Amino acid sequence: MRKKIVAGNWKMNNNKSETADLIQALKSLSFSTDVRVMIAPAFTHLAQAEELTQAGRIEVLAQNMNANDSGAFTGEISAKMLHSIGIDKVILGHSERRAYYNETDVGLKQKVKTALTYDMEVVFCFGEELDQRKAGSHFEVVQSQLETVLFDLNSTEWSKIILAYEPVWAIGTGETASPDQAQDIHAFIRGLIASKYDEDLAKDVSILYGGSVKPANASAIFSQPDVDGGLIGGASLNAEDFIAIIQSI
Ligand code: 13P
């Protein structure tokens, strides 16, 4: 049975002490056993975050990783390095990585393979841009992203995949997909997985929504039957807002 997940993507925010303070503020929170709460601090603070969360149920994930095991890739971080500090989850394919660092679905496919080799869970981000939504091609765009990156995985590998639909036009813009828009595309995504694999596998995949989720809109979005939680950017940097969002699930 799939779990509900609220994950905070802290992006390039928070220094060491701000990261620790935010974690301390979240640590006392209790939440239902069918909910998972995750945070993705910057690489430099992952080891600290892992230590600070050890006794509790908050899970720590990385925001990115390189597809290669090791080698001459200045400035990069490997799955092996993450693994060595106890990080067993990673966000891949975020639209900011695609837009600013030229990440492509073909390259992401390799990253997903590497992550799975290290038995890591992957939060795979995908979603259409504004002009694609306006042209009505968002279903095709999303289908192509999923097919290219994930549809040659076997069903055991799928147990390590969490999907995060993040329409680019809703990220950091204050504009959110309406609950109906989110439900429509999440149901479409689940249907795609069911037709490529089977209904049981499709039912087990958590599909998160990301893009300007705030305390004010979280429960309407999360109450949609195919929305299994959210990947939260800006609002996850504020303890009070992030806690309110977690409590909306
Ligand atoms: P915002 O919640 O700031 O729109 O960011 C969403 C996001 O990019 C999460 O990965």
Predicted local distance difference test score (pLDDT) of residue 175 = 85
Predicted local distance difference test score (pLDDT) of residue 32 = 94
Predicted local distance difference test score (pLDDT) of residue 187 = 98
Assign a CATH topology to domain 4-247.
Answer: TIM Barrel (3.20.20)
Predicted local distance difference test score (pLDDT) of residue 72 = 98
Burial per residue of 103-118, b for 16 or more beta-carbon CB atoms within 10 angstroms, e otherwise: bebebbbebbebbbeb
Instruction: Map out the domains of the chain as residue ranges.
Output: 4-247
Any catalytic annotation for residue 83? Answer: no
Any catalytic annotation for residue 45? Answer: no
Q: How far is the CA of 152 from the centre of ligand 1 (A)?
A: 28
Distances (CA, A) of 51 to 10, 23, 30, 54, 199: 18, 11, 19, 5, 38
Q: How far is the CA of 238 from the centre of ligand 1 (A)?
A: 13
Mean pLDDT of the chain: 97
Spans of the chain below 70 pLDDT: none
Q: Is 0.95 topped by the overall pTM? A: yes
**Phi, then psi, of 237 in degrees rounded to 5:** -85, -10
Predicted local distance difference test score (pLDDT) of residue 1 = 87
Q: How far is the CA of 135 from the centre of ligand 1 (A)?
A: 23
- Residue 77 · residue 43 · CB < 8 Å: yes
Q: How far apart are CA 57 and CA 73, in angstroms?
A: 34
Say yes or no: CB of residue 167 within 6 Å of ligand 1. no
| Residue to mutate, 91, 130, 208, 213, ligand 1, most ligand atoms under 8 Å from C-beta | 213
Q: How far apart are CA 112 and CA 158, in angstroms?
A: 11
| Residue to mutate, 212, 217, 236, ligand 1, most ligand atoms under 8 Å from C-beta | 212
Q: How far is the CA of 53 from the centre of ligand 1 (A)?
A: 23
Burial per residue of 24-50, b for 16 or more beta-carbon CB atoms within 10 angstroms, e otherwise: eebeeeebeeebbbbbbbbbebbbbbb
Q: How far apart are CA 127 and CA 141, in angstroms?
A: 7
Catalytic residue among 94, 96, 103, 186: 94
| Residue to mutate, 10, 166, 248, ligand 1, most ligand atoms under 8 Å from C-beta | 166
Q: How far apart are CA 147 and CA 153, in angstroms?
A: 10
Predicted local distance difference test score (pLDDT) of residue 14 = 98
Q: How far apart are CA 150 and CA 202, in angstroms?
A: 13
β pairing state of 229-232 and 89-92: unpaired
Predicted local distance difference test score (pLDDT) of residue 29 = 92
